[in-house]
Amino acid sequence: MYEVTNKDGRRQRRHVDQLRQASESLQTGKQQYSQREQHLPLQLFQWEDTPGQQEPDQDPPPLLERHHEMIPQREKSWEMGQTITTTPMFRFSNTNERILLFIGTLAGMGMGLATPANMLLFGDLTGAMIDFGSEIVNSMRQSQSVYSEAFNSTENITDINAVFLSAIKTFAIGNAAIGAATFIFGYISIAIFNYVVQKQLANVLVVLSSTAEDEEIEVRISVGDLNKLEDGIGEKVVMFANYITAFFASLILAFVKGWELTLICLTSLPVTMFAMGLISWCTSRLAKKELDAYGKAGTIADEVLSSMRTVVAFGGEDKEVERYKSNLVFAKNINIKRGFYNGLGFGLLWFFIYASYALAFWYGVGLVLDERNLPADEQIYTAAVMVTVFFSVMMASMNLGIASPYIEAFGIAKGAGAKVFSVINRVSPINSTSEDGIKPTSIKGSITFNNVHFQYPSRVDVKVLQGLNLTINPGETVALVGSSGCGKSTCVQLIQRFYDPIQGSVSLDGVNIKDLNVAWLRSHIGVVGQEPILFQTTIAENIRFGNEQASIDDIVQAAKKANAHDFIAKLPQGYDTLVGERGAQLSGGQKQRIAIARALVRNPHILLLDEATSALDTSSESKVQAALDKASTGRTTIIVAHRLSTIRQADKIVALSDGQVAEQGTHEQLMALKGEGDKRQLERMVSNTSMVTDPFEEYLEETQLVEDTTMPLHPSSMMEVLRHNKPEWLYILIGSMCSIVMGASMPVFAILFGDILGIYTFIVAGERLTMRLRGLAFAAMVQQEIAWFDDKQNNSGSLCARLSGDASKVQGVKQIQLFKI
């Protein structure tokens, strides 16, 4: 059992539940991505994976092995707040998927070529229209001056019409072909990227689930981070490739047709690119600060929602709501500032674009007029060329402007990716998958604590062990007692090497456990915790989790040693009986005996019993205690106990105080050496070893709630969202007016005014709405009755996901998207 210590120094037994919730959350995410992947219309591109490239849900170990091979052996920290390049975000893709990404990128670039092709056709059509008008005028003049040539003039007009209709036909067919090609390229590119990205995120979830060793991952890496990562590496990459290709291809066409006019049109390009790059850099940094701010708010929500009984008991609902809201204010201000930079960027972009258009028309008409009297074969700038160049540069600028928001999405994705990969890339000093370390051929079971000092990384100011010296002989049963926070369970965790001592050493048979192979060490240790964790499968499979190579005979023998065989044999399906979710079909004593069998099936040399009977009633305790007594025979056994009855038979009782050994000896020796007052003190130390589980909590674990208290969820309308946004009506009004002005008017001032103020005000309104919705949702949660929190569907992980996900989705609707509408 994993244990952590809270601020009061009391041991908490909720870490296993939180780890389970984190794992279930990651598994749920993986299933969602898998379901979305199944709906992708890309069966055409699927093939069998080559060896070593199995799907993560089919054979996770190769993926994890590739993951560990990717991590440098040297210590390398990825600090929160840094960004990463695009390449690491596709690090878990295999060769076939990278080929698909290359094809998808080429298809996206193919879409971009449609823009200059259309401009070329439009320019030719413009030239044909001008020639048609000129020929008609000339023909009419000839018919008026020479009456005898009237019939010839009619024939000329017929020929002119035929030429013009041919030009129109070419334009229509060409545009139809461009449209068909754009549809095909667009479908292929987006389908490929969606397919690969969903598999990539599924791989990331698999690796994260193998890395999720504490609740910090559940808070710091949220579903929102994965969504932002997906947003930055999905179909937006295709669209960005499309717009950027259109930008460069249109510029090339413009330079080929008329380089002088093109240069005039591009006078604002360097300034525009510099301004957009600077703004993108600013928004990327602010996006990371926003993620960190919401992460802090998520930590508060997780803390409160997982301790609702305490909050309600002390009437702290309103206080916690205010504390949660105060952390949302900082995130709101950061995002408003980011919205201001976004609006400023759009405004500057379109200001420079339309200013260059005014200059281009003035200068272009002059070039055409200067060459109007030259022979046709010597003319460089005609009306058709001017139109082609102008619209090519205009479309290039527009594509650059459309592509600029994607740069922000990529910046946000790199910020979210840095948080995700900072966890994935962390090189753990205690790596259970590594082959490094000594693997002795035999083990006796002697354990020595030599001047061990330790404090938990999350609470470096609290010293748990302060120079602990303790020797446990092979085959000896030792009981650890003491008040809460004295370091008993810490000793158990140090033996399993969940942590390393800050100073001193823990040795097994005279060898420092740091020098031993971690997987080998843990394979020789059996652990039975206070709360047995069973998985939703058969009894036999639950026992086999202790030793994957165990046969059915090994499982039966382990069950007999754990005094579990008799009740298992009486079940209708015996060892094939499904235990239900977390063993709900079994009683507490039955679950504990199965957990003991799971520990014994690996035939461990060391047995760790961390308050294995503290959560049981008297009847179940006697049966489990008998199983533990039988299991500890011939093994080095360490017991963390809460009752004297469980340690009377121990070879040695060690009383810990302030991280050191206070007293040690057999039960009789300790009783003989001490007076009546000290005997009562010893009994109090034993009884205070842990807090007994609330019977109501046990009831909740072994039964299912009859009444469904799940809050019904109804889809909200846009009017309901706007109603919550009513306090920001002025911002919405200003933003709406600015967006209307921008959409209806082309003057430079209208574009500048609409972009800057429009986006900024919607960002302000959206962020305030997000803060308000999160606050209202959190306030509604803490005001629910306790039975609502007892429902497993309303666990702290699910509620935190609602807080971080639903409000963010509304935020996304209320900002730039609504402004564009």
Mean pLDDT, rounded, for 416-427? 69
Residue 41 has pLDDT above 60, yes or no: no
Residue 650 has pLDDT above 90, yes or no: no
Mean pLDDT, rounded, for 244-266? 89
**Euclidean distance between CA atoms 598 and 543, whole angstroms:** 4
**Euclidean distance between CA atoms 113 and 249, whole angstroms:** 7
Three-state DSSP class for 252? helix
pLDDT at residue 443 in the model: 84
Residue 106 has pLDDT above 50, yes or no: yes
Residue 725's pLDDT band, with cuts at 50, 70 and 90, is confident
Please indicate whether residue 479 or residue 10 has the higher confidence score (pLDDT).
479
Of 16, 68, 58, the C-alpha closest to 212 is: 16
Please indicate whether residue 619 or residue 362 has the higher confidence score (pLDDT).
362
Residue 135 has pLDDT above 70, yes or no: no
Contacts of 761 (CB under 8 A, 6+ apart): 731, 732, 734, 735, 738
Which of 165-174, 324-333, 719-728 is most confident? 165-174
Mean pLDDT, rounded, for 260-268? 84
Residue 176's pLDDT band, with cuts at 50, 70 and 90, is very high
pLDDT at residue 177 in the model: 93
Quick one: tokens of 689? 């070893």
Residue 181 has pLDDT above 90, yes or no: yes
Mean pLDDT, rounded, for 630-642? 78
pLDDT at residue 287 in the model: 77
Mean pLDDT, rounded, for 704-714? 42
pLDDT at residue 593 in the model: 82
Q: CA-CA-CA-CA torsion for 772, 778, 782, 788, nearest 10 degrees?
A: 130
The pair phi, psi for residue 804, each rounded to 5°, is -80, -30
Mean pLDDT, rounded, for 123-136? 74
Q: Identify the weakest region by mean pLDDT among 440-454, 586-600, 707-721, 756-770.
A: 707-721
User: Which single residue is written with the structure tokens 């979210």?
Assistant: 416
Distances 43 to 47, 192, 198, 230 between C-alpha atoms, Å:
9, 10, 14, 21
Residue 520 has pLDDT above 90, yes or no: no
pLDDT at residue 355 in the model: 77
pLDDT at residue 298 in the model: 82
Helix/strand/coil percent split, the chain, to 5: 65, 10, 25
Residue 776's pLDDT band, with cuts at 50, 70 and 90, is confident
pLDDT, mean over the chain:
72
pLDDT at residue 66 in the model: 47
Give percent above pLDDT 70 in the chain.
Answer: 66
Query: What's the sign of the alpha-carbon dihedral 505, 511, 515, 517?
Result: negative
Q: CA-CA-CA-CA torsion for 769, 775, 778, 783, nearest 10 degrees?
A: -120
Q: How far is CA 92 from the centre of its chain?
A: 15
DSSP one-letter string for 639-703: EE-SSGGGTTT-SEEEEEETTEEEEEE-HHHHHHHS-HHHHHHHHHHHHTSSPPPPHHHHHHHHS
DSSP one-letter string for 93-130: --HHHHHHHHHHHHHHHHHHTHHHHHHHHHHHHHHHHH
- Within a 10 A sphere around the Cβ of 537, how many other Cβ atoms? 14
Quick one: tokens of 613? 């009977």
pLDDT at residue 718 in the model: 64
**Euclidean distance between CA atoms 23 and 206, whole angstroms:** 10
Mean pLDDT, rounded, for 606-621? 69
pLDDT at residue 78 in the model: 39
Three-state DSSP class for 528? strand
The residue type at 541 = E
pLDDT at residue 704 in the model: 38
Mean pLDDT, rounded, for 484-492? 83
- Within a 10 A sphere around the Cβ of 723, how many other Cβ atoms? 10
**Euclidean distance between CA atoms 232 and 237, whole angstroms:** 7
DSSP alpha helix (H) spans, 565-615:
565-570, 588-600
CB 342 within 8 A of CB 279: yes
pLDDT at residue 496 in the model: 87
**Euclidean distance between CA atoms 343 and 751, whole angstroms:** 11
Q: Identify the weakest region by mean pLDDT among 59-73, 120-134, 149-163, 190-204.
A: 59-73
**Euclidean distance between CA atoms 666 and 653, whole angstroms:** 6
Q: Is 474 exposed, middle or buried (0-12, 13-18, 19+ CB in 10 A)?
A: middle
CB 514 within 8 A of CB 435: no
pLDDT at residue 752 in the model: 55
Residue 113's pLDDT band, with cuts at 50, 70 and 90, is very high
Residue 93's pLDDT band, with cuts at 50, 70 and 90, is confident
Residue 102 has pLDDT above 50, yes or no: yes
b/e sequence 282-295, b meaning 16+ C-beta within 10 Å: bbbbbbbbbbbbbb
By DSSP bridging, strand 11-12 and strand 4-5 are: antiparallel
**Domains contained in the chain, CATH given:** 1-56+75-214+226-246 (no CATH), 447-690 (3.40.50.300)
CB 635 within 8 A of CB 475: yes
The count of residues in the chain is: 821
pLDDT tens, position by position, 294-341: 878 888 888 888 788 888 888 888 888 888 888 788 888 887 887 787
Which of 23-27, 400-404, 643-647, 698-702 is most confident? 400-404
Q: Identify the weakest region by mean pLDDT among 404-418, 504-518, 532-546.
A: 404-418
pLDDT at residue 374 in the model: 77
Q: Strand pairing partners for 477?
A: 637
Residue 553 has pLDDT above 70, yes or no: yes
Contacts of 732 (CB under 8 A, 6+ apart): 722, 725, 761, 762, 765
CB 223 within 8 A of CB 416: no
Its pTM surpasses 0.85 = no
**Euclidean distance between CA atoms 227 and 416, whole angstroms:** 9
